[in-house]
Chain A
Amino acid sequence: MNNRLPLRARVAIYGLICLLAIPFVFPTWWMVTSSFKPVSDIFAFPPSLIPTELSFSAYRRVFELQPFAQQYLNSAYIAAVVTVGTLAVSSLAGYAFARIRFRGQHALFLVVLVGLLIPSEVTIVPLFQMFNSVGMIDTHWPLILVPTLGAPSVLATFIMRQFFITLPGELEEAARVDGLGRLATFWRIALPLARPALGAVAIFTFLHSWNLYLEPIVFLSTPEKFTLPQALTQFVDAYGGPMWDVQLSAASMTALPVLVVFVIAQRQFIEGLAHTGLKG
């Protein structure tokens, strides 16, 4: 738009943004700094904003107490597989629902949308029964199959459909003139244009899988197979009380890499989504 907002307006906007940022930043800041504090200082009141002494012992303990590197790897590979799988499933379905005319299209879309509407607490028991009956308890299969094909991927399909619907109709015309089939049109033309929407879906899906809490606890029981959110709950002292410093160190290590990736990817993602996404 314009670079020339009056100085007073700019100061006001900065002031407002800074004020609004406090509740967003403080808890994260507290989490990271507290992970360096001795336990007795963590809940001291008022909280100290900067740790008085830097102690890395909690970070060492994270790796001593749990196979944390392995658990990190589990979370990362599950999230990666789920993300790639969801991108494939949802872009295909989203494209078909938006651009191809076939009988039953609307009814099927509504059926798929049902998946959006169910909290995981509702279906966890039947899902457990199903996976138990095929011997997939204490494996990563439920954590991969359900998000990729089940309820969580429906949101992705929905986003992809909403995106593909905004593409101009001439695309298919041109493709047909070139003699392209549907799959080729999808793969060579629609998908490259959809990069920003794919970016949005990738971010949603990755975070969803990365933060999944109830499902891993219910489905997994071997520490070597645990995922990160589940591992965070395992750092407890001899009486079941949380070891705060260790938990917070582990939580910090869980959050920071994802944040770094967001920082690197955000400009491309936001601007990409903006430039190709919503120009009718």
Chain B
Amino acid sequence: MRKRLTAVVALAAMLGLSACGGGDSAGSDGPVSLRMTTWSANEAHLKLFNDIAAEYQSSHPNVAKITFDPIPFESYTTTLTTQIAGGNPPDLAWVLENAAPDFVSSGALLPLDETLRKTDGYGFDELAPAATKLWQADGKLYGYPFSTSPFGIFVNTDLVKAAGAKSPAELIAANAWTWENAVTTASAVAARTGKAGLVVRDFDYKGWDNLSTIWTGWGAQAWSADGKTCGFNAHEMVDAMTFLHQAIFTAKALPGPGTAADFFAGEAGMTITQISRASLLDKQKFGWDLVPLPAGPKGNYSVIGQGGMGVLKKGKHAAVAADFLAFLTNPANSAKLAQFFPPPRTPLLTAATLAKTNPLLKPEQLQSVVIDGIANGVVKPNHTGQAELSQAVRSALDPMWKADADVRGVLDGVCSAINPLLAK
């Protein structure tokens, strides 16, 4: 790495570029600046982060500046990768759950255990094991899962009522909130109101990992826990996908491919998404409800999506950055972050605590969806080399989304497409 950079510098200098250059010298002992890349440019988020940073700086004069560098979500990984490749990595970075295995296993991140444990009052053992599992390798923690957000189903109660179907709330009360019944309700909404029945948000027949919110109920998984065996042609997956295929093309409970409907604009009866989207319902004109995912043949289950924060080993001030991360995620600041991001700390995971910062949700909704969800949640599919796998699965699954698809055959095809990648 160093050799390459030296070559570049020499070339550039030779060509006279350096004449106009300035820039700070690395590795000085003076006050340091920290930079953290995020995919949120939301003003409320940035204000909270900046407030916490200011508080940190007031007690740590060695840190002159902490900046948060928002990068658009779609180009987040590209930009982060370019910065790392170009020799200008951020000190801290948010990491998406689907990139987590790559970041954790590659050695790009600094192990955090030691710093976090030695920080006074950090309460390292409060972190829920289900939440930190994805961010660990060889018994070390490489990322702090600042956002651990379970999937639930939002219901447009007005549309369900208009369709004369059984509402999820009624089904739950009758202990009959199963996928069969959920599809019946969704199909009634679609048939009688002309709107969409059930939308798996962000799936859109491309983001297939969102389907794990369904197939987990059948006990299916994309690949085995050790990541070596393809799970797409296992009988659980075939059953789950056959059910889904019928729900889409026979019962018309889900809008077909190429038909988007936005739940939050009142265009769908139900949607599967992360509960953090509740804020979108703030000004809606329709009645709504939030319920857990229905039971599948394997009983109750839940699925979570995550975002983590890590310290780049190659950053100029990795140790200082780790110390700031410990401050940013200590119990007091975690409580503040909880208003936007469901926290991984068990003491914060009570309905009463969460209700304070999520006024739109009722305590029982928080209990059933968030708290129970995080405790036994299955994280969405993830694997080292996820991007390439994900791409291979997407294109192999495409033939599935036709009315006359051979479900079993397509799933076999998925496995033959990804087996070489799983074997890597």
Identify the A interface with B (CB < 8 A): 39-45, 65, 124-126, 128-130, 132-137, 141, 214, 217-218, 221-223, 230, 233-241
Contact = CB atoms under 8 A, between A and B. Distances in A.
B285 A40 contact: yes
Interface in B79-95: 79, 82-83, 85-88
B225 to A, nearest CB: 29
B41 A124 contact: no
B5 interface: yes
B42 A129 contact: no
Interface in B37-63: 39-45
A230 B78 CA distance: 14
Contact of A240 (B40, B265, B285): B40
Nearest to A234: B41
B75 A40 contact: no
Nearest to B24: A135
Nearest to B195: A45
Contact of B279 (A133, A214, A230, A237): A237
B43 to A, nearest CB: 6
Contact of A134 (B21, B44, B264): B21
B352 interface: no
A71 to B, nearest CB: 13
Residue among A40, A44, A132, A239 with most chain B CB within 10 A: A239
B80 to A, nearest CB: 10
Given A130-B17, A217-B75, A40 B266 contact: yes
Contacts, number: 109
Interface in B248-279: 262, 264-267, 274, 276-277, 279
12 contacts: A43-B267, A128-B82, A128-B86, A129-B85, A130-B12, A135-B22, A137-B88, A217-B75, A221-B67, A239-B276, A239-B280, A241-B277
B43 A65 contact: yes
Nearest to A133: B9
**Most chain B beta-carbon contacts within 10 A, residue among A42, A135, A141, A214:** A135
Nearest to A231: B41
Given A125-B85, A128-B88, A239-B340, 16 more contacts: A40-B265, A43-B265, A129-B86, A130-B17, A133-B18, A133-B21, A134-B21, A137-B86, A141-B20, A217-B75, A223-B70, A236-B40, A238-B42, A238-B45, A240-B39, A240-B73
A89 B45 CA distance: 45
Highest count of chain A CB atoms <10 Å: which of B8, B17, B43, B340: B43
Interface residues of B, number: 49
B73 A221 contact: no
Nearest to B70: A234
A41 B12 CA distance: 53
B22 A129 contact: no
Contacts of B9: 133
Given A235-B41, A236-B41, A237-B279, A129 B5 contact: yes
Interface string B62-75: 00000101111111
Contact of B82 (A43, A124, A134, A233): A124
Contacts of A129: 5, 8, 85-87
B8 A233 contact: no
Given A125-B82, A135-B23, A43 B40 contact: no
A234 B283 CA distance: 22
A236 B23 CA distance: 32
- Top 10 nearest A-B pairs (CB, nearest first) are A135-B23, A134-B21, A128-B86, A233-B72, A234-B41, A221-B69, A133-B9, A129-B86, A135-B21, A132-B88
Nearest to B286: A40
Contacts of B24: 135
A180 B289 CA distance: 83
Contact of A238 (B74, B279, B285): B279
A134 B12 contact: yes
A239 B262 CA distance: 16
A130 B21 contact: no
A133 B87 contact: yes
B18 A214 contact: no
B35 interface: yes
Nearest to B6: A133
A240 B85 contact: no
Given A133-B9, A218-B79, A238-B279, A128 B85 contact: yes
Given A124-B82, A125-B85, A241 B67 contact: no
Contacts of B262: 43
A40 B283 CA distance: 9
B116 to A, nearest CB: 26
Contacts of B283: 40
A45 B74 CA distance: 26
B7 to A, nearest CB: 10
A240 B283 CA distance: 18
Contacts of B42: 236-240
Contacts of A218: 78-79, 82-83
Contacts of B267: 43-45
Nearest to B18: A134
B284 interface: yes
A47 to B, nearest CB: 12
B305 to A, nearest CB: 11
Contact of A241 (B23, B35, B69, B280): B280
B35 A132 contact: no
A97 B73 CA distance: 44
B23 A134 contact: yes
A240 B276 CA distance: 10
Contacts of A124: 82
Nearest to B81: A125
Contacts of A217: 71-72, 75, 79
Contacts of A238: 40, 42, 44-45, 276, 279, 340
B87 A233 contact: no
B239 to A, nearest CB: 33
Contacts of B5: 129, 133
A236 B43 CA distance: 9
Interface string B1-15: 000010011001000
B279 A239 contact: yes
Contacts of A137: 86, 88
